Amino acid sequence: MRIIITGGSGLIGRGLVDSLTQDGHEVIVLSRTPDSVKNLPKGACAEKWDGKSAQDWGKFVNGADAIVNLAGTTISERWSEDRKREIRESRVNAGKAIVEAVKAAEKKPRVVVQSSAVGYYGPRGAEEITEDSSAGSDFLASVCQDWEASTAELDAMGIRRPIIRTGVVLDKNGGALPKMVLPVKMFVGGPLGSGQQYFPWIHLHDEVVAIRWLIDNSSAHGVYNLSAPQPVTNKEFTHAIGKVLGRPTFMPVPAFAMKTLFGEMATLLLDGQREMPMRLVKEGFKFKFTNAEAALRDVLK
């Protein structure tokens, strides 16, 4: 297959590129700065795009089998108004560019996997969240709604469009985990805020395999929660990090300190969702990592 990936140089994208090329697939990674995308495996190449149109790269869509849209600027920096605008526009513009390219293609891809996030649901406490749960009303929830809607025109074209609402992806080389591990390694780790907020996690291996399962499964369409079937609280997850590393986790970080340090972005750390991957489980997907401690041992050891 020929598969185009936007955001292919990020944590999830690199894992997906490696997995697909190992099985002999051709992968095209779209990047604003393709020369900076280093060490791509055999079978993958980087092509330039501007993140908002089909200019230069749209020709690759003709005859491609699948597109995986992971594009979007990071949310893990303090949110100024300019930053919030960039977070939203980077996602919406990427989706519009994909629609433009697919419209122009004579031979259209059979599937476009549209990225989203658990933030779609907003802070929900201990409520069990499934794909049928309603959207939240905060900033991240509104961004996720716009993100998902950015490629909605593809539905009318008959393009299969699974939407992935991903939790926190665990990998030692990127994402949130290294930032969570560092204070524990330095003997100053502990729960954030109350520690009772749920932490929807997924091992990078399962994230990649789930995306590939959605590409290959011709009956998979609509929304899928991508998180492990055993969510834990922040306190439980932090304790598991400490157990794996042999470090104490008795120094909680007060909520007011997080809000002072990170502003509105502190919601990423202090609020959570008890996300459940109901559709994946019901439709037969098999997770390799369902236990947080086992996943952390695999990642950190």
**Distances in Å between the alpha carbon of 128 and those of 124, 143, 145, 288?**
8, 22, 20, 22
- Residue whose structure tokens are 């290959």: 216
Q: What's the pLDDT score for residue 105? A: 95
User: How far apart are the C-alpha atoms of 290 and 141, rounded to whole Å?
Assistant: 26
CATH class of the domain whose range is 2-168+202-227: alpha beta
Per-residue pLDDT at 270: 85
CA distance 162 to 112: 7
Q: Alpha helices of 105-173 — where are they, by DSSP H? A: 139-149, 153-156
Q: How many Cβ atoms are within 10 Å of 162's Cβ, its own excluded? A: 22
What is the structure's pLDDT at 174? 86
Lookup: tokens for 252: 């909680």
**Contact, 201 vs 231, CB < 8 A?**
yes
pLDDT in tens, the chain (301 residues): 999 999 988 999 999 999 999 999 999 999 988 888 888 999 999 999 999 999 989 999 999 999 999 999 888 778 899 999 999 999 999 999 999 999 999 999 999 999 999 999 999 999 999 999 999 999 999 999 999 999 999 999 999 999 999 999 999 988 889 888 999 999 989 999 999 999 999 999 999 999 999 999 999 999 999 999 999 999 999 999 999 999 999 998 888 888 887 788 788 888 899 999 999 999 999 999 999 999 999 999 8
pLDDT tens by residue, 68-85: 999 998 887 788 999 999
DSSP strands (E only) in the chain: 2-6, 26-31, 44-48, 66-69, 111-117, 128-129, 162-166, 168-170, 198-199, 201-203, 222-226, 232-233, 274-275
Contacts of 286 (CB under 8 A, 6+ apart): none
Burial class (CB in 10 A: 0-12, 13-18, 19+), 179: exposed
How much is the pTM? 0.95
Instruction: DSSP letter for 120, please.
Output: G
| 3-state class (DSSP) for residue 110 | coil
Q: What is the pLDDT of residue 8?
A: 87
For residue 160, the model assigns a pLDDT of: 98
Q: What is the pLDDT of residue 37?
A: 87
pLDDT at 141: 96
Q: What is the DSSP secondary structure assignment for residue 20, as one 8-state letter?
A: H
Note the pLDDT of residue 227.
Answer: 98
* Radius of gyration of the chain, Cα coordinates, nearest whole angstrom: 19
